[in-house]
A and B are shown apart, each in its own frame.
Chain A
Amino acid sequence: MESKLVKINKRRKAEKKEGISRRSFIKSLGAAGAAGIAGCADNPAQKILPFVKGDTTQIPGVAVWYSSTCKECSAGCGIQVRTREGRAVKIEGNRENPVNRGGLCALGQAALQSLYDPDRIREPLKKVSEGGREIFKPISWEDAFSEVAEALKEEGYKAFLAGELTGTVADLWDSWCQDHDIQQAVYDPMQPVDLARASELTFGHYGIPKYNFEKAEVIVSFGADFLETWISPVEYARGWAAGRKPGNVSRVIHIEPRLSLTAANADKWIRSKPGSETAVALAVLKLLVERGNGKNLSESVINRLKKLVSKVNIEEVAYVSGIKRSTVLLIADYLHQARSSLVLAGGPAASKERPLGLFVAVNFINMVLKNVGRTVDISRMRKPRTSVRKVSELVAAMDKAKVKTLLVYATNPAFSLPQSYNFRYAAKKVSKIISFASHMDETAKLADIILPAHHSLEEWGDAHPFNGVYGLTQPVMRPVFNTRSFGDMLITLSEKSGNKKAAYGAANFEEYLKNAWKKIHVTSGSAESFKSFWLKAVERGGYFEDLEKHIPVRVSVKDEAYTVVAESFKEPEHDHGLMLYAYPSVRSFDGRAANRPWLQELPDPVTKIVWDSWAEIHPETAGKAGIKNGDLVAVRNKYGDLKLAAYITENVDQGIVAVPLGQGHTEYGRYARLVKGGNVYDLLQTGEDSDGVVLLGSHVEIKRLPGRPKLVNTQGSDSQHGRGLARTAIVAATAASHSNGHNGGHHAHQEGHHEIKQMYVQREHPVYEWGMVVDLAACTGCSACVVACYAENNIAVVGKDVCWQGREMSWLRIDRYYEKKGEELRVSFQPMMCQHCNNAPCEPVCPVYATYHNEDGLNVMVYNRCVGTRYCSNNCTYKVRRYNWYEFKLPEPLNWQVNPDVTKRTAGVMEKCTFCIQRINEAKDIAKDQGRLVEDGEIQPACVQSCPTEALVFGNLKDPNSRVSRLAKSGRGYKVLDHHINTQPSVTYLEDLKWEIT
Chain B
Amino acid sequence: MTHNAYRQGFPFATALTALVLFMLVAGSARAELLIRITEGADAALPIAVVPFAESGAMPAGDKVSSIVQADLTMSGEFRPLDPSKMLSLPSQRSEVYFRDWRLLGQRYVLVGQLNRTGERVEARYELFDVNREERILGETAGASANNVRTLAHHISDRVYEAITGDPGVFSTKLAYITLNRTGDETRYRLQVSDVDGKRARVRLESREPILSPAWSPDGKQLAYVSFETGKPVVFTHELATGERKKAADFPGLNSAPAWSPDGKSLLLTLSKDGNAEIYRLEIASGNLTRLTNHWAIDTEGVWDHTGRGIFYTSDRSGGPQIYHMERLGAEPKRITFGSRYNARARPDAKGEYVYYVHQRNRAFHIARINLKNGEESVITRTESDESPSVSPNGRMLIYATQQNGTSVLTVVSANGGAAYSLPAADGDVREPAWGPIVR
Binding between chains A and B:
no
Report B's interface with A, CB cutoff 8 A.
none
Report A's interface with B, CB cutoff 8 A.
none
